[in-house]
Amino acid sequence: MNLWSVYTSLGGDELRVLRAIEKWMRRYRYVPVELVERSSRLPPSRFSRAVKTLVTMKLIKRRLGSLSGYTLTYTGLDVLAIDNLRSRGIIEVLGDKIGLGKEGDVYIAVSPAGSRLTVKLHRAGRESFRKIRRHRSYALDLRPTSWLDVSKALAEREFKILVRLEEEGARVPSPVAWNRHAVVQRYVEGVLLAEVRVLDAETAASILRDVLETLRIAYTRVGVVHGDLSEYNVIATAEGGGVVIDWPQYVYRDEPHAHELLTRDVDYILRYFRRRAGLKVELAPAIKYVMGETGEPPV
């Protein structure tokens, strides 16, 4: 059963129980049963049926014993985010999963007006959190008592930086909305750079110019560094350009590791285009361009 089918199969009672559990998860890893029941305001028989459905569908987990309680799974959080986006008129329907990564899943969606959107559901875990914490000062404010809360924080962070980047003219997905761990963006027609089978020099140069210009705007106008750039974070558009995606791990340019991460980003993408398309661009002038020290793009 796909995620949309899971969501549409639920009734109001199940959603009330999910919200009740989420409400108390900042205080409890497993929310006590009596607290969930009281917060849901459901009669005992309806509460029991709703809980049974949610456990069966793996939207919640139950801990048995003297300290019995419930906690949300990522799928349970998915359902709450989708319900919010639908009730706000952001999405009309959620379609197939079109992207899967270590830190999130991406779905196609349709707005009430018929526009195509993407919904990115963040999924932070121990590996990604350790990676973030090594280099990103903002991770000091994230306490991994709940990976769901970390995912919510990353989604909020990504949405807000996309708004800033788009305002400054960077080639990034256009942000539409955010709720919990979900970021809604306008659909970008194209494929991941990593999935492009044939990459000629002219197209490669066009994509690289867009990528470097976006990194330049991010650094000089917004004051941030992407921090994890690769062929899996660039969409090759149908028009032959490039769009830079996946921004939650950005760092501010005045942070201690920022220059190291900027150099890594630029060096990696230059080496990729050199290997795939024979496009030779030197690192030093590319770095100067991105940092705003020269006005001429190196490609």
d(CA 215, CA 8): 40
Burial 23-34 (b: 16+ CB within 10 A, else e): ebbeebebbebe
d(CA 27, CA 40): 17
Residue 244 pairs in a beta bridge with 234
Contact criterion met (CB below 8 Å) for 133 and 139: yes
Q: Which entry of 149, 228, 246, 265 is annotated as an active-site residue?
A: 228
**Burial degree of 2 (CB within 10 A; 0-12, 13-18, 19+):** exposed
- What are the backbone dihedrals phi and psi of residue 41, each rounded to the nearest 5 degrees, phi first? 60, 35
d(CA 57, CA 51): 10
Contact criterion met (CB below 8 Å) for 200 and 188: no
Confirm whether 200 is a catalytic residue: no
Contact criterion met (CB below 8 Å) for 29 and 21: no
Q: Which sequence positions are flagged as catalytic?
A: 228
